Structure 1
Amino acid sequence: MRYAHIYSLLLMSVLCTSCRGQNKTELPKADAGFENKALTTTQGPKTITRNIIQDKKSNIWIAAFDGIFRYDGKSFTHITSKVSSARFFSILEDRKGNLWFGSIGSGVFYYDGKSFQNFTTRDGLLNNDVGSIYEDKKGNIWFGVFGGASRYDGTSFRNYIINGDAMNEDRTGKTFTNRPPYEVNSIIEDKTGRFWFGTRGNTFVYDGKTFTVFSHENTPFKNVRKIIEDKKGNIWLGGNDGLWNYDGSKFTNFTQKFVGHIYEDKKDNIWISSESFNDLSRLLFGYGANTASWALSRYDGKSLSNKKPVVTQIKSNEIMIFGILEAYDGSIWFGTMNGVYRYDGKTISDFKGEEVRE
């Protein structure tokens, strides 16, 4: 697609590999002081930071290529330092307060606060590269992987495979030990119970029986990186074709720049990470990866119905910007190629402190 060649080399180093699932595979049980022995620092992740969430106890959890980190408001704990050297891509707290960590090449790690369990293709997970995790209204956990998606009901996995431009349920028990061509980047269940799958190929809507390619003017939305449903029930899609809003009948395009992430805050503002090429850089340098520049921007929620909504650029000149989170205190956290940042409404802070204890 339009800017795919810009990111081809960069994304090879940023993205995922293979998975499976059915029976739980126990990792070594943690002893009573396991977490206290994990590395605690004033510094967060140092490398690619893909996703950020906040749990029910107000802790910030970060999935990064150098591990899973928990921030308690004062210091970071490297949760997986004694468990796995995998690069982590996705993260979820389920309704019971348990954590799920999606890795690149090592499947999914389930963490109940005391011990870990690892699910891979040996257990039935479709592929061991887990780019997205989602919990549906029934409590099933969905994993977006290369080649399709896996749904875990607490006992076994049901897999859905992308075959070219189509996506269907697999009943053969097939798993992928290699890396198939299409990755499921984002999964949501909307208010009507339909599921949306944003993939490197087409975008699919699933009504529980049939997968339908989601299109605008007979053109499928391709390489969608993030899908959200806002408080009004509108669907937002961000990816290769820019930022789009769909209210059930009408489509609105807000930018044609490549969009990597979308987030709605408490005030109904829409935050995005997107490319920020300008005409001069294109004229002088073309579309090479070295000219890539990404920005964190906020669309004012009160002006979204206007032809020209109010857009504020908060951070620019990043190689890439990934996951976005609004914490309970109103601060905005976002991941980059070299760690995590926090925006308090006035200033942007990084976490480049020194190690405190081990």
Structure 2
Amino acid sequence: MKYIHIYALMLISVFYASCGQKQNEPHKDNINYDIKDTVTTYGPNRMVRNVKQDRNGTILIAASFAGVFRYDGKSFTNLASKIGSRRYWNVLEDRHGNLWVATSDSGVYHYNPKRESFQHFTTREGLVNNGVLSIYEDRAGNIWFGTGGGASRYDGKSFQNFTTKDGLSNNGIHTILEDRTGKLWLGTGGDACFYDGKAFTVFRNKDGKAFYNVWSIIEDRKGNIWFGASIIEDKKGDTLVISNSLWRYDGNSFTKVTKRSASAIIEDKKGNIWTTGPVNPNGVGDWTLSRYDQKSLYNKNPAVTEIMSLNKMLCGILEANDGSIWFGSMNGVYRYDGKTITDFRRKEYQQ
């Protein structure tokens, strides 16, 4: 167990201001098409929140205040050069090949690679809040945005917004996932819940306690839901006593897989589970990239291998098409090929 004022050190607080809804054509302000994309042989040296991959196998990197980079195996191209400095948080390629770029301070940018053009969506166009942390495309092709003021669903023409007024349990949305049954899972700053198209349901453990501060949710190949979250065990005055864990839900019950924290989670092609999170249970000190062996996932104490440890926050994880593991950190992006770890920053920034 630990106290929330200590645990808060492992996460960066983001504050947002809620705004009204409108539905207009997306505006094009703050986009300078006279600026050429920056191309370098090295990666960003700023915080990399998320790493994704497009249909061509190109690596996409969202780096706060540095840009959104496309790595083709040789060079890094900053696709956001024309936008300028923003707190870039996430990136997604949709089924049409367009890119969506989330910022935690300026809404969302939609990039059409064929036209090399941007559209800017904010609360002015109907987005529920300009602080966007997550982007997700559902089976129907709708784009969901998790923000600091609720969730927004965009159908290509207009936004439909969901907040606590609509039954959402917490407006701070960290992550979104649609499972194989069609339920939409949302990890929030308050709990884990799902949306069945009609209502939101908050998930609780066998003791009836709701989960707290959920940053990552995945569904594995067996249909289990994995997420890193805390449980509020007690309250002492104004201080909450919480415990962190990696959890697994099989459709009927919850299993605490480990007491280790998990801020990001993926399942690789072999069925191993990868996480990033702090080593020390109080959230201070080294963070690790860890791998849980699929052969022992259902054991009481699953085997875990610490791949890399840094005295800095580690963020989003990706398994690329070639099996390599990419992960973001507070100071750049790394790649693990099964043997060695590559730091893509300029040499003067490397440790």
- TM-score band, normalised by the shorter chain? 0.7 to 0.9
Instruction: Flag the structure with higher helix content.
Output: 1
Matches of residues 174-323 of structure 1 in structure 2 within 5 Å? 182-217=171-206, 218-240=208-230, 241-277=244-280, 287=282, 291-323=284-316
Distance change (3 Å), C-alpha of 1:61 and 1:128? same
TM-score (norm 2): 0.87
Task: Provide the residue aligned with 1:167 in structure 2.
Answer: 168
2:81 match: secondary structure: coil
User: Using the alignment, how far apart are the partners of 2:339 and 2:165 within structure 1?
Assistant: 47
Contact 2:52-2:91 at 8 Å conserved across structures = yes
User: Using the alignment, how far apart are the partners of 1:276 and 1:292 within structure 2?
Assistant: 7
User: Using the alignment, how far apart are the partners of 1:148 and 1:69 within structure 2?
Assistant: 27
Instruction: Provide Cα deviations, 1:86-122, integer angstroms capped at 9, x if missing partner.
Output: 1100111111111100002110000011100000011
User: Using the alignment, how far apart are the partners of 2:60 and 2:319 within structure 1?
Assistant: 12
TM-score (norm 1): 0.85
Q: What is the CA-CA distance between 1:263 and the residue it aligns to?
A: 0.4
User: Using the alignment, how far apart are the partners of 2:224 and 2:107 within structure 1?
Assistant: 32
Task: Provide the residue aligned with 1:282 in structure 2.
Answer: none
Query: 1:50 is aligned with what amino acid?
Result: R
Mean CA deviation greater in 113-122 or 311-320: 311-320
Task: Provide the residue aligned with 2:94 in structure 1.
Answer: 94
User: Using the alignment, how far apart are the partners of 1:199 and 1:328 within structure 2?
Assistant: 30
Task: Provide the residue aligned with 1:281 in structure 2.
Answer: none
Task: Provide the residue aligned with 1:350 in structure 2.
Answer: 343
Q: What is the CA-CA distance between 1:187 and the residue it aligns to?
A: 0.7
User: Using the alignment, how far apart are the partners of 2:10 and 2:176 within structure 1?
Assistant: 24
Query: 1:185 is aligned with what amino acid?
Result: H
Distance change (3 Å), C-alpha of 1:61 and 1:272? same
Q: What is the CA-CA distance between 1:251 and the residue it aligns to?
A: 1.8
User: Using the alignment, how far apart are the partners of 2:311 and 2:198 within structure 1?
Assistant: 42
Q: What is the CA-CA distance between 1:318 and the residue it aligns to?
A: 3.3
Contact 1:41-1:353 at 8 Å conserved across structures = no
Query: 1:5 is aligned with what amino acid?
Result: H
Q: What is the CA-CA distance between 1:30 and the residue it aligns to?
A: 7.8
Task: Provide the residue aligned with 1:47 in structure 2.
Answer: 46
Task: Provide the residue aligned with 2:237 in structure 1.
Answer: none
Task: Provide the residue aligned with 2:240 in structure 1.
Answer: none
1:334 aligned to 2:337? no
Task: Provide the residue aligned with 1:284 in structure 2.
Answer: none
Query: 1:197 is aligned with what amino acid?
Result: L
User: Using the alignment, how far apart are the partners of 1:201 and 1:102 within structure 2?
Assistant: 21
User: Using the alignment, how far apart are the partners of 1:43 and 1:17 within structure 2?
Assistant: 32
CA RMSD of aligned residues (A): 2.3
Give ranges in structure 2 of 5+ residues lacking alignment: 231-243
Distance change (3 Å), C-alpha of 1:320 and 1:146? same
1:8 match: secondary structure: helix
User: Using the alignment, how far apart are the partners of 2:7 and 2:312 within structure 1?
Assistant: 10
Give ranges in structure 1 of 5+ residues lacking alignment: 169-180, 279-286
Contact 1:23-1:155 at 8 Å conserved across structures = no
User: Using the alignment, how far apart are the partners of 1:42 and 1:21 within structure 2?
Assistant: 42
Contact 1:3-1:258 at 8 Å conserved across structures = no
User: Using the alignment, how far apart are the partners of 2:2 and 2:23 within structure 1?
Assistant: 39
2:168 match: secondary structure: strand
Instruction: Provide Cα deviations, 1:203-230, integer angstroms capped at 9, x if missing partner.
Output: 1111111111111121111111111111
Instruction: Provide Cα deviations, 1:62-98, integer angstroms capped at 9, x if missing partner.
Output: 0111111110100101111222311100111111111
Distance change (3 Å), C-alpha of 1:21 and 1:70? farther
